[in-house]
Amino acid sequence: MDKQWLSQLPISNITKLVRVGGGDVNNAYRLEAGDETYFLLTQPHQPATFYAGEIAGLKDFEKNDILAPRVLGNGQIDGDAYLLLNYLEQGQGSQADLGELVAKLHHVHSKNGQFGYNLGYVSNDESFDNSWTDSWSDLFVNRRLDKLRQMILDKHLWTQRDDDKYQRVRQVILAALAEHQSEPSLLHGDLWGGNYMFLADGQPALIDPAAFYGDREFDLGITTVFGGFDADFYAAYNAAYPLDPGANQRLNFYRLYYLMVHTNKFGSMYKSGADAAMNQILENARA
């Protein structure tokens, strides 16, 4: 990244630029300018609006006292989108505190009583419609699972047999959600182990949100896919915001969703995981 590009950021006197990990989506950098340190995300060949959803989520987190990076700037420079955040120094902390933070997030409910968000979800690999709806099944099954299913089929990653199984699983999910009273909680939307951190003072923080209002079991199901959350996390969460009966079975719906996201994004290496999740959903339905 050249000096001319950096000179167009809304900060001056940049003295140090270091490339850091930013996930599979963004280029990420640690910037030092004077006595301040910043976190810079860039996305080549994208408009500034590429980060609109993440910005909205971070601002909603801040408004509701959920510790997360603060938005300091956003725009486009020489055809590249950027998002400038304050830099959070990493430390160690308590999984129980993290569980309480996520429960606090989920206690924030949409003011209109509906599921959705003011902005859709957009990434390089998929996009989802977050238009407001009274139905969690509509948002989750019709607009997310079904869309992922079509994208996976279009990439020839599923056979007809896989799709037949998905259709049976779909009916199980719809029937179970019809019997469950979902409430529209503010969700992180991508709550895997890489999207939280502990600060230098031990406080937990949430990063890289894909926020929307949905059933809180969505976030919790995602936490179970790749690890990073221990028994203290779940115990503290459940003490602060007890889960409804049958939650353990419904978490498999959201495991399936996340594994389908990864199948669509990364290919057949995640196909067996999605298949196992479908098998578990069908087995639970027969029990």
Instruction: Kindly report, residue by residue over 44-88, the tens digit of the pLDDT.
Output: 999 999 999 999 999 999 999 999 999 999 999 999 999 999 999
Q: Is pLDDT larger for residue 179 or for residue 22?
A: 179
Q: Could you tell me where in the chain the CATH 3.90.1200.10 domains are found?
A: 95-286
Q: What is the pLDDT of residue 234?
A: 98
Q: Is pLDDT larger for residue 125 or for residue 186?
A: 186
Distance (Å, rounded) from C-alpha 10 to C-alpha 40? Answer: 12
pLDDT band at 26 (very low <50, low <70, confident <90, very high): confident
Known catalytic residues?
190
Instruction: Convert the pLDDT of each residue in 159-182 to its tens digit.
Output: 999 999 999 999 999 999 999 999
pLDDT band at 122 (very low <50, low <70, confident <90, very high): confident
Q: Does this model's pTM top 0.75? A: yes
User: In this structure, what DSSP letter does residue 227 have?
Assistant: -
pLDDT band at 22 (very low <50, low <70, confident <90, very high): low
CATH topology of domain 95-286: Aminoglycoside 3'-phosphotransferase; Chain: A, domain 2 (3.90.1200)
Query: Is residue 271 predicted with pLDDT exceeding 90?
Result: yes
Distance (Å, rounded) from C-alpha 25 to C-alpha 42? Answer: 9
Contacts of 26 (CB under 8 A, 6+ apart): 41, 42, 43
Q: Round the average pLDDT of the chain to a whole number and report it.
A: 95
Q: Please provide the size of the chain in residues.
A: 287
What residue type is assigned to position 54 of the chain? Answer: E
Distance (Å, rounded) from C-alpha 221 to C-alpha 191? Answer: 9
The radius of gyration computed from the CA coordinates of the chain, to the nearest angstrom, equals: 20
3-86 domain in CATH 3.30.70.260? Answer: no
Q: Could you tell me where in the chain the CATH 3.30.200.20 domains are found?
A: 3-86
Q: What is the pLDDT of residue 125?
A: 80
Query: Is residue 124 predicted with pLDDT exceeding 90?
Result: no
Average pLDDT over residues 111-131: 93
Q: What is the pLDDT of residue 12?
A: 86
The proportion of the chain whose per-residue pLDDT surpasses 70, expressed as a percent, equals 98
Tokens of 182: 């979902």
Q: What is the pLDDT of residue 127?
A: 92
pLDDT band at 23 (very low <50, low <70, confident <90, very high): low
